[in-house]
Structure formats: C-alpha cells, structure tokens
Amino acid sequence: MSDVQRLEEDALRHLTAYLPPMPSSTHTDQDPSTVPQPELSHAPSSSQTTAAAAPTGLPFVTLTYAASLDSMIALAPGARTSLSGAESKAMTHYLRLRHDAILVGAVTAAVDDPGLNCRYPDATILDQPRPIIVDPNGRWKGMGKKAYQLAAEGEGQAPWVVTTSQTFEKKSRLQDIDGDYVIVDEKDADGAIEWYALLRTLFVRGIKSVMIEGGATVINSLLAQPNLVNAVIITIAPTFLGSGGVAVSPAATQTPADGGGQRTNAAWLDQPSWKQFGNDVVLCARLR
C-alpha cells in the first residue's frame, strides 16, 4: 500500500490547469474521461487559466519546490530539510505521475539522496518518471543511491546522468539497469550546462515533459529564463528557517547603463492561483 494519500478532486482540478497533458500510460483514481485536461491550442485568457504550450522542440517544464516563509529551501548548505506536509507531499507525487521525467542537480542528488520515483496510489512501473541528474563534474555516484536502488528493484526508472564529454566516464553499472549518460557540452556565460541545449537534448530523446525539483542553483537559474519554463508550483510551509539557510533568490537584473543602471525585479509570476494543502499553501503560476 502506498504511503502517499490521494488528492481530492478539487485539488486535482486546481493543479491540472498548470500541467502537461496526462500521459496515456498514467493511472489515476478517476475515470480518464472525467479528469480535466489542459488546453494547449490557445493562449490563456484573462478569465481562464490553461496550460502553456512548450516551445517547439522543447519539453513542457514545470519548476517546483518547497520553501519556508523566508524563501529558504534548506536550513544550511548540505542539510537535508523536510518542509512539505502530508497533503503537499501527495501533490508532489501526483506531479511526478504527470511528467515524463524528474530533474535535479548533482548536489541535491548527493545531499538529499532522493528516490525520484512516484508513490501516488495505483502508480505502476509504467507510470514512473525518468530520474535525470545534472552532473557536469561527475559528483553523483549511482551505486548505493536510492534512485539507483529503486530502479534495480523495479520500483522506478533508471536514472539518466547529464554530463559533459570532458568529465564523462562510461560506468557499466548504470547501463546495467537501463540507465544512461546524456552528453551536453554547450555552456552558458557562467560555465554551467546551457539549459536550452539540455532541454532540447531531452526532447530529442523522448522526454516531452519534465518536473524540475532543485536545488537552489537550478531553481534560481531557471527563474531567470521564463522562455523555458511553462509552470511554477511552489509549496510554502508555515515556518521560518532563518538566516544562514539556502535561499531561492535569483540574481536581480539591471536596466542598461543608459537607463540609469537601476536594479529591477529578478522574476515575475503571472496568473497566480493559491490553494491550501493541509498546513501548507501551494502557489501555481507562470513566469512572465
């Protein structure tokens, strides 16, 4: 029996407008004909929120994470920190059910050791998303990690590790469980793997929707690229983690020098929708 509860119908409807179409293999607790599906054929109007279509040749990207009231996602660097209550935890597993893949950075994979599978009630191996770990420096060691073990036990898909040709070393054990290495050599101005190139590569390999869960570096970099993100879903826990924590706080931008060089907001959210999940509040929105 799953340790994750089912979501109520109103919660499902609240989320669905911000999600990609239901994968054909997905099992739900409702008749498929009654599950509300997002419309992708027209832009959202002021009176109706609908799922935003992914750019041509890219997967639908949902950026999602849990944060405290002071925008912290961890008590300190390297500290595993649980923020989600039972209801918002169930929401996370429902989101995993609705995506082809889950993506995290190598630091999050190493520190939190997440299983990156879906435990929503009635989910089968066919419903499991593909774990994707962005690891340009070869930090993540598959053996002994939860995502690797769950795949070996048939309770999750085998991970894909995104790395560069410079650091790539073929490790047969990953291929033994049907995992793989994805090589992306394009870099951004800061020397990190370029997001457009990464997402394009995943799309070519059959990933049509991806749920990006963290960590802070990943989240902050994507909040600055609204053209790549289709939906943002944030769980806000009723707590303050305090100074010294790991914050979601994308770098502020500045207007051109001829405009006075004024600081401007780092990111804006459009079409916000709020719903309480237990003691937590979940914000669904789009990046402007």
- Taking only the tens place, the pLDDT of each residue in 43-61 is 233 334 556 667 789 999 9
Q: Which residues contact 45 (CB under 8 A, 6 or more apart)?
A: none
Per domain, the residue ranges of the chain are 58-73+96-241
Q: For 162-181, what is the mean pLDDT?
A: 77
**Mind giving me the DSSP string for 81-145?**
-----HHHHHHHHHHHHT-SEEEEEHHHHHHH-------STT--GGGPPEEEEE-TT-----TTS
Q: 15 near 233, Cβ under 8 Å? A: yes
pLDDT of the residue at 50: 52
**Mind giving me the DSSP string for 237-262?**
-S----TTSEE--PPPEE--GGGT--
Burial code of 158-173, b = ≥16 C-beta within 10 A, e = fewer? bbbbbbbeeebeeeee
Measured between alpha carbons, how far is 112 from 196 in angstroms, rounded to an integer? 26
Measured between alpha carbons, how far is 126 from 112 in angstroms, rounded to an integer? 25
Q: Encoding tokens for residue 276?
A: 């309480």
Q: For 143-166, what is the mean pLDDT?
A: 91
Confidence of residue 29 (pLDDT cuts 50, 70, 90): very low
Measured between alpha carbons, how far is 162 from 261 in angstroms, rounded to an integer? 37
pLDDT of the residue at 35: 38
Residue 100's CB is within 10 A of a number of other CB atoms, namely: 21
Q: Which residues contact 261 (CB under 8 A, 6 or more apart)?
A: 254, 255
Q: For 32-50, what is the mean pLDDT?
A: 35
DSSP-based three-state secondary structure for 189 = coil
Alpha-carbon Rg for the chain in angstroms? 19
Measured between alpha carbons, how far is 209 from 196 in angstroms, rounded to an integer? 14
pLDDT tens readout for residues 221-260: 999 999 999 999 999 999 999 999 999 999 887 766 555 6
Q: 93 near 102, Cβ under 8 Å? A: no
pLDDT of the residue at 174: 75
Confidence of residue 118 (pLDDT cuts 50, 70, 90): very high
Identify which of 115, 143, 142 has the alpha carbon closest to the alpha carbon of residue 129: 115
Helix axes 86-97, 9-16, angle to 10 degrees: 50
pLDDT of the residue at 60: 97
Mean pLDDT, the chain, integer? 86
Dihedral pair phi/psi, residue 94, rounded to 5°: -65, -40
Q: Which of 46-55, 116-125, 164-173, 206-215 has the lowest mean pLDDT?
A: 46-55
Dihedral pair phi/psi, residue 285, rounded to 5°: -165, 180
pLDDT of the residue at 33: 33
Higher pLDDT, 21 or 195: 195
Confidence of residue 38 (pLDDT cuts 50, 70, 90): very low
**Residue 147: pLDDT above 80?**
yes
Q: Which fold has domain 58-73+96-241?
A: Dihydrofolate Reductase, subunit A (3.40.430)
Measured between alpha carbons, how far is 193 from 254 in angstroms, rounded to an integer? 24
pLDDT of the residue at 251: 87
**Residue 72: pLDDT above 50?**
yes
